[in-house]
Copies of this chain bind each other. A is one copy, B any other.
């Protein structure tokens, strides 16, 4: 995406090329994926005024050629960074300054990389990439909408089948099964947190019996690499008055804050609105109000107290207030929303408290 825009940044910063890499199959480099559409192992070089190219190890070559980048080199030296230098030279680039991504470059790789480009200076463009990604293209909006529609579809099927599940793992397994059946990926490991486990926002579902009471289900898929994110809290058995009241309050706040979204609005104000609305429960809200979604499940903008971000057109992000009572229960209600001239809630699953 947006390679031409990014090349303008490179020209403005007088960088000869930008370098992105991923050498570790258990990590994910969102910028590498964003520009290339390739999530395998290798490197991406984006020259400031020529076609970008990939360098991939032999075992990844065939897959790399199916990415958005149609100029692909096979790694031709034993060592990865030797191949990078060699391929850059082959392309007649003698870099004075190289743009790198400090947030996805580890100290060890950088030590090796700089040895191969001794005469070059380095310029961190992580923030430029993050900022590019923050504003979605129409193509990305299309992917996000489809991703949210899939998440809705799977979550609704899961809620409908809830009687069949005995454990938290059963619920998580069903969510993942339906995701994979559709040839999709997860955007993160689903959270299924019943009873007192619900008070841990990042709880990992265990092979443990579903407890009576509220159950937080936080789930999302990746469609073409684009993440959706939705949370619903359901009630296993009849909720008590305290739970009903807390749920009703949180739902009202979630709906109200969505109405407050408008261009130029400070994200921190949205967060503060929620805290103020929670009143005496504001300390039971232990995380941010939301985050951007795209090729990463957490990206810009940040909807937190200290955020400097403002709402802009073509931003996609979550709105997810929660309240947590350690040892008792938790509630979170989350939607993925898009701001494009007006707010559009992309996740459309019913938000009333459902008894399952």
Question: What residues on B are CB-neighbors of A126 within 8 Å?
Answer: 108
**Interchain CB contact under 8 A, B110 and A107:** yes
Q: A63-B202, A108-B124 are in contact. Are A78 and B306 (CB under 8 A)?
A: yes
A300–B349 Cα gap in the complex (Å)? 46
Binary per-residue interface labels of chain A (176-194) against chain B in the complex, 1 for a CB within 8 Å, 0 otherwise:
1111111101001100000
| Residue-wise interface mask of A (191-221) relative to B, using a CB-CB cutoff of 8 A (1 in contact, 0 not) | 0000000011111111110000000000000
Q: Are B183 and A59 in contact (CB under 8 A)?
A: no
Q: How far is the CA of A106 from the CA of B107 in the complex (A)?
A: 6
Question: How far in angstroms is the closest Cβ of chain B from A290?
Answer: 14
- A107's closest neighbor in chain B, by CB? B102
Is A314's beta carbon under 8 Å from chain B? no
> What residues of B have a CB within 8 angstroms of the CB of A296 in the complex?
26
Judged by a CB distance under 8 angstroms, whether A105 is at the interface is yes
Residue A298 at the B interface, CB < 8 A? yes
Which residues on B sit within 8 Å (CB–CB) of A41?
A: 202
A59 x B202 contact (CB < 8 A): yes
Q: Residue of B at shortest CB range from A40?
A: B202
| Size category, A interface | 35 or more
Please give me the residue from chain B that is nearest to A173 by CB atom.
B180
Q: Is there contact, CB below 8 Å, between A105 and B102? A: no
Stretch at the interface among A85-93, A164-172, A244-252: A164-172
Which residue of B24, B106, B177, B206 is within 8 Å of A173 (Cβ)?
B177
The residues in A between 26 and 83 inclusive whose CB is less than 8 angstroms from any CB of B are 26-28, 30, 40-41, 58-60, 62-63, 78
A58, B126: Cα distance in complex, Å: 27
Question: Which chain B residue has the least Cβ–Cβ distance from A24?
Answer: B298
Any B CB within 8 A of the CB of A287: yes
Contact A28 B27 (CB under 8 A): yes
Is the pair B176, A170 in contact by a Cβ cutoff of 8 Å?
A: no
Which 9 residue pairs are nearest across A and B when measured between Cβ atoms? A183-B207, A173-B180, A177-B177, A102-B107, A102-B108, A169-B183, A173-B181, A59-B287, A59-B286
Q: Which residues of B contact A119 (CB under 8 A)?
A: none
